[in-house]
Amino acid sequence: MHRPPEGAPALCVIGLGGNLDAPADRVRRARESLGRQERVRELAFSSLYKSRPMGPQDQPDYVNAVMAIETSLAPLDLLDLLQSIESLEGRVRLGERWGPRTLDLDLLLYGDQVIQHPRLVVPHPGLAVREFVLHPLAEILPDLEVPGLGRIRELAEQCPDNGIEVMVP
Ligand code: ROI
């Protein structure tokens, strides 16, 4: 498969989401902190969306957004960066699978690469069935092709919206 040379900028998509302790503020701070990184450039940021929890229903609604960046960081270096920002945001998991969390930063797409690594699977395995990823992504990059799955616009059209709403700022 075609691979860009080491360090050549790749278009990547990050999913942001959380449902504890002022999640909209956490999402905004994560955006700023990513944008401040030397090897990251923001290309687009979606609206913030309010979405129903996927997983146990006895938890608050989520705030979700997606961010397109250009980065020269390699995939695992970008993952390290995302995890360090999650820890700065005091990421708390309450133990329960698919339970509430302060902030998740998911590496959804890394250029056109398909990655199967013990720490990282790209495209993100949940991407095609998560309205809180596809709807924000259809807002900023409807024509983007997801390796093996097709175009965002069509994927979003096929995915039930499950009551997702744009949050009024
Ligand atoms: N549900 C929604 N709506 N948004 C999320 O970001 C989200 N993240 C998760 C799980 C617990 C799967 N549910 C979610 O990790």
Nearest-CA residue for ligand 1 atom 8 is: 17
What confidence tens digit (pLDDT) does each residue in 84-103 have?
Answer: 999 988 776 667 888 888 99
The answer to whether the beta carbons of residues 152 and 117 sit under 8 Å apart is: no
Nearest-CA residue for ligand 1 atom 6 is: 17
pLDDT of residue 96: 80
Collapsing DSSP to helix, strand or coil, 70 comes out as: strand
89: which 2 tokens?
């945001």
Query: Which residues, at least 6 apart from 103, have a Cβ–Cβ distance to it below 8 Å?
Result: 16, 17, 18, 23, 26, 27, 30, 85, 86, 89, 91
Identify the helix (H) or strand (E) that includes residue 104: strand 104-110
| Ligand 1 centroid to residue 8 C-alpha, Å | 32
Q: Which residues line ligand 1 (CB under 6 A)?
A: 17, 51-55, 62, 64, 98, 104, 132
What residues act catalytically? Answer: 91, 101, 104, 106
Average per-residue pLDDT for the chain: 94
| Ligand 1 centroid to residue 56 C-alpha, Å | 10
**CA 153/CA 135 separation, integer angstroms:** 9
Nearest-CA residue for ligand 1 atom 15 is: 98
What confidence tens digit (pLDDT) does each residue in 101-126 have?
Answer: 899 999 999 999 999 999 999 999 99
Taking the model in full, what pTM does it have?
A: 0.94
| Ligand 1 centroid to residue 53 C-alpha, Å | 6
**CA 135/CA 165 separation, integer angstroms:** 9
Q: At what angle do helices 75-88 and 23-35 cross, to 10 degrees?
A: 140
Phi, psi torsion values for 89, nearest 5 degrees: -80, 15
What confidence tens digit (pLDDT) does each residue in 23-55 have?
Answer: 999 999 999 999 999 999 999 999 999 999 999
Strands 49-51 and 62-71: antiparallel
